[in-house]
Amino acid sequence: MSFFISEALAEGASTGGQAFDPGQLILMVGFVAIFYFILIRPQSKRAKEHKKMVSELAKGDEVITSGGIYGKLVTVDDEHIELSIADNTTIRLQRSAIGSVLPKGTIKNL
């Protein structure tokens, strides 16, 4: 029966615990570094860019909201904006609802 199963040898049974393995520490540090560079860093970079874009909004900018509504900014306050989406139709939104700023003249070409 010992042909397929090797016999277990009791190495370090007298200590009752495991020895320090630097390979496991390196593996854990590697996982944390990969997690940081793949998930955390890009997300914080996108958040910083969005915050900068929202802070630079000005009257007359053409934007797309995060809900997909195209419009032109009519008024810009500290926390809110008014967006003209059609003739005589404006909506009031929070500044953070802006998804992206379009180049001038984009809405007329649509």
| pLDDT, tens digit (0-9, with 9 covering 90-100), for 22-38 | 888 999 999 999 999 99
Q: Which residues contact 80 (CB under 8 A, 6 or more apart)?
A: 92, 93, 94, 95
> What's the farthest any 2 CA atoms get from each other in the chain?
88
DSSP type of residue 97: G
Does residue 48 carry a pLDDT above 90? Answer: yes
pTM listed for this prediction: 0.68
What architecture is domain 23-46+57-109? Roll (2.30)
Domain spans, the chain: 23-46+57-109
